[in-house]
Structure 1
Amino acid sequence: MPKDPRPLRKLGFLTIGLFDEHDPAAGHEATLRLIELGERLGFDSAWVRHRHLQFGISSPIAVLAAASQRTRRIELGTAVIPLGWENPLRLAEDLATVDILSGGRLNAGVSVGPPMNWEHVKHALYPDTADLEDFSYQRVRRLLGFVRGEPASTFKGTIGFEVFSDRVQPHSPGLASRIWYGGGSLRSARWAGEQGINLLTSSVVKAEESEDFTEIQLSHIRTFRAHHPDGEAARVSQGLVVIPTDSADRAQRAKYRAYVEMRTPRTKAPQGPARMVFSPDLLGSSDEIAERLLGHAAYREVDEVAFALPFTFEYEDYEQILTDIATKLGPALGWRPST
């Protein structure tokens, strides 16, 4: 028998933060305005993607530091920071700083693996150590250790007038419980559970034991919880692309439909050597989307979501979509806005 859906407890959204190469300030400002809008609408969280050498947010921590000063309640997340581009010790300092500035509202999502386009960027990123870098889960373990307060130095004490700590400063005690792993494979789901961290599962998964997206995602969630110390209470957030049209005008509906139709072919079969499976975008009225979600076996296992906004829309489109999610879709799923 299928599980009854869990009541939707936390509603979030995710944006890539696109900008014009010749006017990047406007795009970054639009992202900050979206986060402010999300707080006004009662969303529980706002998440930003991470894009290097592209025209999307390359420094989510800097953007979220700015957002922390323009909001007071909404949680702020990264989905996800690819650790192949980062030094775990330095990143731990940045994460803790933003968590302190935000009053403990940061959710840090990370992933591992070589940087995208590795052959083209390795000499700029790691000119002397490219062949020695470890892009395995060990990079997450190092970050977790530093965030949890494990020693980062063999020295602690005073030199002259300067005082030195042996662990990352500032230290934010609650941050470790808000580290998320963005996993798309069964191995990653199990590993994240064994580490006792949280799991971000998106609209892309790896075809291993099945080619059906819902079946694959469901197996990831159950495997994660089976290996997590908190069991069924372990936190999982699902991030599908959701486009409600309740208050959209005719032009917006046509744009949204064209966007979904363009992306639908890739959902028919596993893509590329890695055999990645994409979930179809959910387009329609809030009632129609709610019905599809409530019948989605993986959605029925979670009580947190961070719905992904389409990549290429305008601010006015995002405003309409977020407003419909907060005022119509969320309530249809049993969610209530935060105040």
Structure 2
Amino acid sequence: MTIVPTPQKPLRKLGFLTIGLFDEADPAAGHESTLQIIELGERLGFDSAWLRHRHFQFGISSPVAVLAAATQRTRRIELGTAVTPLGWENPVRLAEDWATVDVLSGGRLNPGLSVGPPMRWDVVRDALYPDTADAEELGYGRVERLLAAVRGDALTAGAATEGFEAYSDRVQPHAAGLIDRLWYGGGSLRSATWAAEHGMNFLTSSVVFAEESADLDFAETQLSHVRAFRAAHPAGRVSQGLVVIPTDTASPSQAAKYHAFAEKRLPRTREPQGPKRAMFAPDLVGTSAEIAERLYAHAAFREIDEVAFALPFTFDHDDYVQILTDIATRLGPALGWKPAS
């Protein structure tokens, strides 16, 4: 029998991340599946559910719209994005959307974001910004504009009444407290430090960047980011998002599919990838006891008390039901977590 090591402190918050795949010929079914998975997460006691953006693909392109729907089908679970690539968004309009969803949810929205040119920038830039692509600020300045809008800073000189119309000089609605629930998704020391210095929370995932470090151990690299963030922002929250697939109640065919999925992705974890030297964490597949043991051996996980485990992006609805149920009823308790009531 595998003995699960005792952690120094129990896992405090347990969440999950999904991409929300759909069939191009029937997109409604995939979106409904995602909403049902979020509802299931709440029933199982998960603390949070997160959606990832997929643009010009067959995954959810508008998490803000799906999360607005989820606010009306849930009452407790926190709802987040992990992450919104800000290069696709107008910061002021996004702040309006986020504030609206936060109001609808009763203060449960946890938006995560990242910066930089959108993926496949050379392909999408003319569709996104046909006249201004070269002039767009796609770095941290774009986040600062968003932070000001969410915080409720005055953005115009337009607070006035004109005829029958009243105008505000800040984004409306103003969602008090939302600014404290903004997350930055980063994989480098620079991003971890920047997020901390600007009072954001920090999302770290199954991808980090080796940068100039000679240490090619994923867990140690991720740990350095966590510690850098906390040194600059001790009160900030940190969440880790590894791919975790328990097999406790999986059928033989499901278990075989899960192991094949992880095996196919394993080669990319052996050395840094691309010019940015991206490092990928291996997917964790096995019984909950086996996964818990591997997590407790993970240097970064040992200093984490919040997670948003990522669901594989190519599985079926029934697979997600089984995986989430095992996480909530077996893996979570093995990590010291208690479901929310």
Q: Is TM-score (shorter-chain normalized) higher than 0.5?
A: yes
SS at match of 2:194: helix
The match for 2:282 among 280, 283, 290 is 280
Q: Tell me how large the CA RMSD over aligned residues is.
A: 1.0
Query: 1: distance between equivalents of 2:225 and 2:310?
Result: 19
8 Å Cα contact 1:44-1:74 kept in structure 2: yes
Q: What residue is the counterpart of 1:212 in the other structure? A: 217
Give CA deviations for 1:142-164 in whole Å, capped at 9, x if unaligned.
10111000012111010100000
- Secondary structure of 2:11 counterpart: coil
SS in 2 for 1:65: helix
CA contact (8 A) 1:5 1:299 kept: no
* Structure 1 residues 185-204: aligned runs within 5 Å: 185-204=188-207
Report how far residue 5 of structure 1 moved. Answer: 3.7
CA offsets 1:174-222 (integer angstroms, 9 cap, x no match): 1000000000111001101111110000000001222110011000000
Q: 1-side partners of 2:268 and 2:119: how far apart?
A: 20
Of the candidates 220, 228, 235, which is equivalent to residue 223 of structure 1? 228
Match of 1:292 among 283, 291, 294: 294
46, 63, 74: which one aligns with 2:66? 63
Give, in whole Å, the separation in 2 of the partners of 1:132 and 1:270.
32
Residue type matched to 1:37 in 2? L
Tell me whether 1:149 sits opposite 2:165 in the alignment: no
Deviation at 1:4, TM superposition (A): 5.7
For the 8 Å contact 2:113–2:183, the answer to whether it is kept is yes
Give the 3-state SS of the residue equivalent to 1:306 in structure 2. Answer: strand
> How far off its partner does 1:6 sit?
3.1
> Is the 2:7–2:335 Cα contact (8 Å) retained in structure 1?
no
d(CA) in 1 for partners of 2:273, 2:75? 41
What is the SS of the residue equivalent to 1:77? strand
1:17 lines up with 2:44 in the alignment: no
Q: How does 1:1-339 map to 2 (within 5 A)?
A: 5-208=8-211, 209=213, 210-228=215-233, 231=234, 233-339=235-341
Name the amino acid aligned to 1:66.
A
Contact 1:200 1:236 in 2 (8 A): yes
AA at the equivalent of 1:160 = G
Cα distance in 2 between the residues matched to 1:254 and 1:10: 29
Could you tell me which amino acid in structure 2 is paired with residue 70 of structure 1?
A: R
Number of residues of Structure 1 aligned to a counterpart in Structure 2: 334
The answer to whether the 8 Å contact 1:89/1:152 transfers is: no
- Look up the equivalent residue of 2:246 and give its one-letter code: P
**AA matched with 1:326:** A
CA distance in 2 between counterparts of 1:45 and 1:146 reads: 24
Question: How far apart, CA to CA, are the structure 1 residues paired with 2:149 and 2:186?
Answer: 21
How far residue 273 of structure 1 moved from its aligned partner, in angstroms, is 1.3
| Inter-partner Cα distance in structure 1 for 2:295 and 2:216 | 19
How far apart, CA to CA, are the structure 1 residues paired with 2:36 and 2:229? 35
Secondary structure of 2:107's counterpart equals coil
Provide the TM-score with structure 2 as the length reference.
Answer: 0.97
5+ residue gaps, structure 1, are none
1:274-293, CA deviations, whole angstroms, 9 ceiling, x for partnerless residues?
11000000010001101111
Give 3-state SS (helix, strand or coil) of 1:76's partner.
strand
Aligned partners of 1:5 and 1:147: how far apart in 2?
36
Report sequence identity in percent.
72
The alignment's TM-score, normalised by the length of structure 1, stands at 0.97
Matched to 1:163, the amino acid is A
> After superposition, what is the alpha-carbon deviation per residue over 1:3-29, rounded to whole angstroms, capped at 9, x for unaligned?
964321100000010111111000000
Aligned equivalents of 1:302, 1:195: Cα separation in 2: 21
Q: 1:61 is paired with a residue of what secondary structure?
A: helix
Provide, for residues 89-140 of structure 1, a one-character-per-residue CA deviation record: whole Å limited to 9, x for no partner: 0000000000000000000000000111111111111111111000011111
Per mean C-alpha deviation after superposition, the further-off stretch among 45-54 and 150-159 is 150-159
1:317/1:102 CA distance change after superposition, 3 Å: same
Shift of 1:299: 0.4
Corresponding letter in the other structure for 1:250: P
**5+ residue gaps in structure 2?**
1-5
Superposed CA offset, 1:213-261 (max 9, x none)? 0011000000011111xx1x42100000000000001000110010011
